Structure 1
Amino acid sequence: MKFRPSILAAVFVSAASISFAQDNLVKSLDANQSNNSKAGFKFSEVINLETTSIKNQGSSGTCWAYSTNSFLESEMIKQGRKPVELSQIYPARCAYIEKGRNYVRMQGAVSLGDGGAFHDVINMYRKYGALPQSVYTGLNYGTSKNKFAEMAAVSQSVLQAVVKNPNGVLTPNWLEAYTATIDAYLGKVPQSFTYEGKSYTPQSFAKEVVGLNADDYVEISSFKEYPVYKKFTLLVPDNWSFDQVYNVKMDELTSTIDNALKNGYTVAWATDVSEKGFSWKNGVAYIPEKKYEDMNQGEINEMFNGPKAEMNITEDLRQLEYDNYSTTDDHGMHIVGLAKDQNGKEYYIVKNSWGLSNDYKGFLYVTKNFVKLKTTTLLLNKKAIPSDVRKKLGV
């Protein structure tokens, strides 16, 4: 997942090869921000599960790696383990290699770029293990934050040259050349390293220190066009590996999140953040009762100055928003709790990876209606799913 140029064309160029400029993007998302929003909301926590510190993904489309690693760190806490600050860029780097293989095999007819999905991190964890952040930062060229545009452009040009195949037959060296390009920017992967006085490989570190089972995690979504309680391939550009997710009823998205939180489990959340009802600066997301284009200027000015009525969300509307590109697979975040506003309305507490720059120091309060309408996928532990839904899914 990463932001789509069809939604925010003024913010970026060539989503296939250039990472978004995060600072400009946030300004675009907050066109309707309020200076009085925090005073207008009175949130009280109902559930707030333990998590690790807020990170900043910089100018990179790696929200999927940041949000999933944050989720896995909370999974370690849930299991009673000491949480490790995992390297977000290590699974991204491994995914880039696999994505390059896929791109060449598909003769360029598949998504590239630095976007991805939650299952990419789980798949890379299963195949390549894990590294601590202290061992692999991905900052191999003098920056203090991710800045991936040049790497994306160069690596794409390498793969495009391979696909054009000037020799007529692929050599066995193209993957080595492509991998060297990625490693020049992100750094070579250590075959072994020392962590807290003990030597590990990425695989042994995942097994002995992280200690999570990749098979414990599933993704769910909800669309009317697919059979309920069955798997389907979510057709979004960043699902380059064509992984499948389970289909549930729309209301079961939020009931599943609620069940997870009540039982101490957090949830990774993929969603559309191009909505007028999403304000990063104010740390609030909801679905306004009235369409933005029908609002007067006074209503627009008041959008984030306190709780507002919301539109009724139906499965038909959810399907329509996906079909007409109103809902796109923009961004991955991490649901870590539940709160109520002064009127008793419930919001999910969401951890983001854009640093501490908003009203709630890196967190957001998101209504259940927003989640119902704008969720593309959820990743969670199978044990966190309500027992009746889990039985229907067969997991």
Structure 2
Amino acid sequence: MKNSISIIILIFISIISYSQSYEFETVIDIETTNVISQGKTGTCWSFSTSSFLESEIIRITGKKIDLSEMYIVRNTYPKKAWNYIMRQGKAQFSEGGLAHDVINSVKDFGLAPNTAYSGLEANKSRHNHSEMIAVLKGLLDVYIDNSGRQLSPKWKEVTESILDIYLGKNITTFNYDGVSYTPKSFLEMTKINPKDYVSITSFSHKPYNTTFILNIPDNFSNGSFINVKLDDLVAITNKALKSGYTVELDCDVSEKTFSSKHGLAVIPNDENSKLDALIKVLPEKSITQALRQQEFENYNTTDDHLMHITGMLKDQNGTTYYKVKNSWGKNSNRIANNGYIYMSESYFRLKTISIMVHKDIVPKSLLNLN
């Protein structure tokens, strides 16, 4: 009888603990810059990775610098256009990109502060690239359609002109804090070394502990990723945060249980409890490598959005969450947690496409793979 009563009490306690409103305790909170909005653009890849680099600059130098996301975008679009033209339109040409596109731009063109290159049209305070991308793609399609005669060499010049009109002419020198810089000398001042950053993923259709080109639409530059087991992906992320390094994140945000309004991302065990899971603690699904692979191959997990992990939290049951800096702004009744998402480890395990971290966090055995 006593055993039966004990079991009932344990079940009751379990039910109570999983039906409370969320209470979070900060475990790790790494310094970063302010949450800002990417506006009406698909440039989360530049905003999030620029934020990641801003935190790296703070970690390395102690300096807090607002980098220009649009300087990176301005120098990446010609590469996208080249890829689209050379593949004769048989490739994606869109606003999307990945973290390594930022690193490639930094390596080739350096960095600039937002004060030197805002990328905003005159008298505008919010980015909107809808017209620009339509004009660019339309132009490139015209050149491709006419390439049966011979591809006009003017396409590069015209593409640059359109980017100049919508984003502003590229820059070669600027002043910052009373010092004259070029983008390359500014990069040197920040102490960022593009060679220090690696992209890591976890999928079972390729051998673990090898590198491969991840076949997702936004990987127009054919970036290579280190492939590790799911537990290792989590371990590398946790090691980075515990060591004072932030993490760049590419993930799927199409789930109903990813909510900027609630500032939360979870994977409830009960499919019928998705809305409830945003307002009260519920048991979450156990995520296996097989389930993760299944969701990727059936298109339920896609590379929707890039964000920046800057810390860790736990709820009242001790469940781990990642503090994820978003780029949808923070001053809105539709955005909670000042623009941050508290992402459960279950959500991270299932919906992460890839991460980017400093190479010092990665096991040395993974850094010299072919």
If the length of structure 1 is used for normalisation, what is the TM-score?
0.85
Structure 1 equivalent of residue 15 of structure 2: none
1:219 aligned onto 2:199: yes
1:360 aligned onto 2:337: yes
Q: 2:239 aligns with which of 230, 253, 259?
A: 259
**In structure 1, what residue type is equivalent to 2:26?**
E
1:64 aligned onto 2:45: yes
1:210 aligned onto 2:190: yes
Counterpart Cα distance in 1 of 2:196 and 2:101: 15
Counterpart Cα distance in 2 of 1:57 and 1:321: 28
For the Cα contact (< 8 Å) 1:229–1:393, is it kept in 2?
A: no
The 10-residue stretch of structure 1 (172-181 or 62-71) with the greater mean CA deviation from structure 2: 172-181
Report the secondary structure of 1:40's partner residue. coil
**In structure 2, what residue type is equivalent to 1:364?**
I
1:346 aligned onto 2:320: yes
Give deviations 1:305-361, integer Å, cap 9, x for gaps.
222111111111111100000000000000000111111111011111011032201
For the Cα contact (< 8 Å) 2:173–2:180, is it kept in 1?
A: yes
Q: 1:76 aligns with which of 57, 68, 75?
A: 57
Shift in alpha-carbon separation, 1:382–1:171, aligned structure 2, 3 A = same
Counterpart Cα distance in 2 of 1:112 and 1:69: 22
Structure 2 equivalent of residue 287 of structure 1: 267
Q: 2:75 aligns with which of 87, 90, 94?
A: 94
* Residues 1-395 of structure 1: pairs in structure 2 closer than 5 A: 40-165=21-146, 168-207=149-188, 209-291=189-271, 295=272, 299-356=273-330, 357=332, 358-385=335-362, 387=363, 390-394=364-368
Counterpart Cα distance in 2 of 1:243 and 1:313: 27
For the Cα contact (< 8 Å) 2:226–2:366, is it kept in 1?
A: no
For the Cα contact (< 8 Å) 2:248–2:309, is it kept in 1?
A: yes
Shift in alpha-carbon separation, 1:225–1:166, aligned structure 2, 3 A = closer
**In structure 2, what residue type is equivalent to 1:215?**
K
Structure 1 residue 301: Cα displacement: 4.6
For the Cα contact (< 8 Å) 2:256–2:275, is it kept in 1?
A: no
For the Cα contact (< 8 Å) 2:61–2:190, is it kept in 1?
A: no
Shift in alpha-carbon separation, 1:153–1:81, aligned structure 2, 3 A = same
For the Cα contact (< 8 Å) 1:52–1:70, is it kept in 2?
A: yes
Report the secondary structure of 2:278's partner residue. coil
Report the secondary structure of 1:72's partner residue. helix
Question: Sequence identity of aligned pairs in percent?
Answer: 42
Counterpart Cα distance in 2 of 1:205 and 1:170: 37
Give deviations 1:159-202, integer Å, cap 9, x for gaps.
11111125711232210111111110000012211111111111
Counterpart Cα distance in 2 of 1:276 and 1:301: 8
Counterpart Cα distance in 1 of 2:367 and 2:58: 27
For the Cα contact (< 8 Å) 1:76–1:212, is it kept in 2?
A: yes
Give deviations 1:186-228, integer Å, cap 9, x for gaps.
0001221111111111111111x22210000000000001010
**In structure 1, what residue type is equivalent to 2:49?**
T
Report the secondary structure of 1:361's partner residue. helix
Counterpart Cα distance in 2 of 1:215 and 1:300: 41
Q: Size of the alignment, in residue pairs?
A: 347
**In structure 2, what residue type is equivalent to 1:374?**
K
Counterpart Cα distance in 1 of 2:86 and 2:62: 40
Runs of 5+ unmatched residues, structure 2: 1-19
Counterpart Cα distance in 1 of 2:223 and 2:275: 42
Structure 1 residue 300: Cα displacement: 4.8
**In structure 2, what residue type is equivalent to 1:257?**
T
Give deviations 1:134-179, integer Å, cap 9, x for gaps.
1111102432111110001001111111111257112322101111
For the Cα contact (< 8 Å) 2:322–2:344, is it kept in 1?
A: yes
Runs of 5+ unmatched residues, structure 1: 1-38
Q: CA RMSD in A?
A: 1.4
For the Cα contact (< 8 Å) 2:80–2:93, is it kept in 1?
A: yes
Counterpart Cα distance in 1 of 2:252 and 2:155: 36
